A and B are shown apart, each in its own frame.
Chain A
Amino acid sequence: MKMTKIYEGAYQWIMYGRDPHKPEKIIDTNQYVVRTAKRCLLIDPGGIELFAPMLAAVLHHAPVEEITDLFASHQDPDIISSLGLWDQALPHAKLHASGLWEGFLRHFGCESIEYVAIPDNGGTINLEGVVLQIVPAHYLHSSANFNIYDPQAKILFSGDIGAALEAPGAPMYVDNFDAHIEKMRYFHQRWMPSNQAKRAWIERVRSLDIDIMAPQHGRIFKGDDVKRFLDWFEALQVGIAV
């Protein structure tokens, strides 16, 4: 599992992905960790197949007992089907996820971990004074869906928004936005159901100061590419299957 620090200050953001041992037919995912002095938040910790390489990678940065929080942007298996295993590894941790998905996510096994239900209008996660904002991104693509915004690091974890379907081992960052568009187009048109939801999200996100937009699949956007993405997404018709 490749590890890339995407922010380093008083705390760190680390991206884990491009696992060379990933089974061929499962979609590649990016996992993110926010590491403060004594705590660790796993953002979209991944599917059951990724549990071992993911935990093995995190143990380079934090001991098990300091992995205190998990966040699931939505309910899909590539996001959080590893929950039952985290539940046994981290019995005192908290899972931050939409209240709408609680009864569904518990099917993965959630006996020990505390389920912290996020209301529809979002909320915050406070990691030793690092306050992360939980930003609503409903219907993009899941009906109860959230992003994470870190105003200090100026990072937006955007979940499936900005995702791209790439060949294995793709670079971590978008280096040519125009060339990247075709890797994103179908994903956004087919997986995102609502133009109305898309416009509401763009309006919300444009008010944030963002240096890095970090999706759950594909490459990370930096600097002007964030604005380019928002403009491109705004013009894109989504929900094409109906």
Chain B
Amino acid sequence: MSGSQTKSQFVAVASIAAELSAVMEVAKEISLAAANAKAIAFRAGEKAKGFQPITDFINDLAKETIALVNKINEHALLLYRLTVNEQRTTEACKRFEKVAAMTTNAAYADSLTQPLEQAQLRMLACRREFDAHVAELLDQLAEVMHPARAARVIAANSRIEASQAGEYLQSLQAVAESVDHAAQVIHVKVHRCRSALSLINSPE
């Protein structure tokens, strides 16, 4: 792993954590929108009868997104630790190789062979583990896209139901817009996470 690659890996992992934190905020906004919608639908009574089950769906989607993001966050933290380990083992290998080049005439130069080989093995193991976790994280991010897509469909349905809610039309339409906007934001942010991860995974 080159110096610039290490840096970009650190930056990519940190930016994923930042994007995920934003996704979490948006998911919480959806949850709030669901509670708001439920209150409006309750007040609207018969006029918003079709809207009531939708509020439960919205709430479930928000909960699902929050749970998934929590899981992904743990994974992102692990990726950060693996990046630190990989950086340390890579640095050790580089320095051990430097020592080997400097000690051709030293009495105990050969004793460095084993630590060097072990450091190289650790470095490869770190890389393999990192790659495996990146692949898993990509899958998990794909999973987060599902509730986001579902939220957009629900937002469309909400608009239809809102149109029949008489004087509550505007309030319920605002809820639908808010859910739709949140779903779009999640989509963009998760897409950014996936791009950052793909950059790490691309060969040099």
Chain A: minimal CB distance from B87 (Å): 10
Chain B residues whose C-beta falls within 8 Å of the C-beta of A64 in the assembled complex: 108, 111-112, 114-115
Contacts of B106 in A (CB 8 A): 56, 59-60
Give the interface size class of chain A.
Answer: 10 to 19
Q: Which of B91, B108, B119 is the one whose CB lies under 8 Å from A60?
A: B108
B115 touches A89 (CB 8 A): yes
Q: Is A123 an interface residue (CB 8 A)?
A: no
Interface string of A72-108 (1 = CB under 8 A from B): 0000000000001100111000000000000000000
Residues of B within 8 A of A52 (CB): 95, 98-99, 102
Q: Inside 8 A of A61's CB, which chain B residues have their CB?
A: 107-108
Does B82 have its Cβ within 8 Å of any Cβ on chain A? Answer: no
Determine which of A56, A59, A65, A88 lies in contact with B88 in the assembled complex, contact meaning CB atoms within 8 Å.
Answer: A88
Total interface residues on B, CB under 8 Å, equals 21
Q: Which residues of A contact B108 (CB under 8 A)?
A: 59-64
How distant is the Cα of A89 from the Cα of B120 in the complex, in angstroms?
11
Indicate with 1 or 0, residue by residue over B94-116, a CB within 8 angstroms of chain A CB atoms. Answer: 01101100110011111110110
Q: Does residue B159 face the partner (Cβ distance < 8 Å to A)?
A: no
B88, B99, B122: most-surrounded residue (chain A CB, <10 A): B99
Docked pose: A84 CA to B90 CA in angstroms: 12
Q: Answer whether residue B92 sits at the interface, using C-beta atoms and an 8 A cutoff.
A: yes
Q: A55-B99, A59-B99, A59-B112 are in contact. Are A85 and B107 (CB under 8 A)?
A: no
Closest to A89 in B: B115
Cα distance, A62 to B148, chains bound together (Å): 62
Q: Which residue of A lies closest to B93 (CB)?
A: A88
Partner of A53, one of B102, B107, B114, B119: B102
**A60 to B102, Cβ gap below 8 A?**
no
Pick the residue among A55, A59, A62, A88 that contacts B119 (CB under 8 A).
A88
Is B89 in the interface zone, CB < 8 Å from A? yes
Let me know if A109 is at the binding interface, CB within 8 A: yes
Quote the shortest CB–CB distance from B153 to chain A (angstroms). 49
Checking A51, A59, A90 against B95 with a beta-carbon cut-off of 8 angstroms, the contacting residue is A51
Q: How far is the CB of A165 from chain B (nearest CB, A)?
A: 27
Known: A59-B107, A64-B112. A88 touches B99 (CB 8 A): no
**How long is the Cα–Cα vector from A89 to B118 in the complex, in angstroms?**
9
CB pair A89 B96 closer than 8 Å: yes
Are A56 and B99 in contact, CB atoms less than 8 angstroms apart? yes
Q: How far is the CB of B104 from chain A (nearest CB, A)?
A: 10
Q: What are the residues of chain A within 8 A of B95 when measuring CB–CB? A: 51-52, 85
Q: Which of A53, A59, A85, A88 contacts B111 (CB 8 A)?
A: A59
Expressed in whole angstroms, the Cα–Cα distance for A65 and B98 within the complex equals 19
Closest residue of chain B to A108 (Cβ to Cβ) is B88
Least distance between A77 CB and chain B CB atoms (Å):
15
Mask of B12-24 contacts with A, CB within 8 angstroms, 1/0: 0000000000000
The B6-61 residues at the A interface (CB cut-off 8 A) are none
Which residues from chain B contact A51 at a C-beta distance below 8 Å?
95, 99
Contact A59 to B89, CB < 8 A, known contacts A51-B95, A52-B102 = no
Chain A proximity mask over B110-133: 1 for CB below 8 Å, otherwise 0? 111011000100100000000000
What are the 5 tightest A-B residue pairs by CB atom distance, in nearest-first order?
A: A63-B111, A56-B102, A63-B108, A88-B92, A52-B98
A sample of 23 cross-chain residue pairs with beta-carbon separation below 8 angstroms, ordered by A number, consists of A52-B95, A52-B99, A56-B99, A56-B106, A59-B99, A59-B107, A59-B109, A59-B111, A61-B108, A63-B108, A64-B111, A65-B111, A84-B91, A84-B92, A85-B91, A85-B92, A88-B89, A88-B96, A88-B119, A89-B92, A89-B115, A90-B115, A109-B88
Given contact pairs A63-B111, A64-B108, A65-B111, a sample of 9 additional A-B residue pairs in the complex whose CB atoms are under 8 Å apart? A52-B95, A55-B99, A59-B108, A62-B108, A84-B91, A85-B95, A88-B89, A88-B92, A89-B119
